[in-house]
Amino acid sequence: MYRYFLQPQLDVSNNSLIGYELLIRQQVDDKWVLPKDFESIPIDIQADLMKRTAQKLRLKIGSVSFNVNQHQFIDCTIAKAIVAAQQQIYPVNLVLEVTEEETDKAVTNEQLIEQVHFFDDHGIQLSLDDISTGVNSYDHLKPVLPYASEIKFAMQNFRAEGRADEIPEHLKFWKKIAQEYKLRLILEGVENAEEDEMANDLELDLRQGWYYGKPHLFKL
């Protein structure tokens, strides 16, 4: 059985909840765990879960987001299911977070941009997740940035790679990019008061992390 865990996304400038990221989990031996292979989860199951979850949240939030890799983002079958889900959860906005996960089949920027236009026509936004991590360098993402609505910086990725001291400089750079391309920049992985204060100093208002709320099971 699969369910979504929700993690809040906040705008600290006015202390408001702007949306939730939907994090899928699988129940194994009475415990909720990360699925071993996200691509093996049938998209109709994910779409149905998204629809049922978002419909219960529709009067409380403006958007919900969930992760796909690049190959899933351009898959026609998945796209149709996502569009159907968006139509059923309106007026909640659906945001697709495209991760840095490498896939077996290479995806070109042209394929990504073409799919962005398709999703735009149906009110679905593109978020580029895990910027400055893995393949999601600035040079790699630059051709796609004009077509995105949002970028996300995951501090937990830097901590896992032993690069935590690089975080402030990377954030300053991506803040300038977000302003240049008129993108939302969400800082995720904020875990303590010190990191919260760093975000205050950098004037980054959109945030996500355990400091503001741990992912919690949403009961259907």
Residue-wise pLDDT for 146-204, tens only, equals 999 999 999 999 999 999 999 999 999 999 999 999 999 999 999 999 999 999 999 99
The predicted structure's pLDDT at residue 183: 98
- For residue 141, give the nearest of 99, 184, 176 by alpha carbon: 99
Do 35 and 4 contact (CB within 8 A), yes or no?
Answer: no
The pTM of this model reads 0.92
Beta strand ranges found along the chain (DSSP E): 2-11, 16-28, 31-33, 63-68, 93-98, 124-128, 150-154, 184-188, 206-208, 216-217
**Percent of the chain's residues with pLDDT above 70:** 99
**Looking at this protein, which amino acid is placed at residue 15?**
N
* Assigned token pair, 17: 């909840």
The secondary element (H helix, E strand) that includes residue 190 is: none
**Looking at this protein, which amino acid is placed at residue 7?**
Q
**Looking at this protein, which amino acid is placed at residue 44?**
D
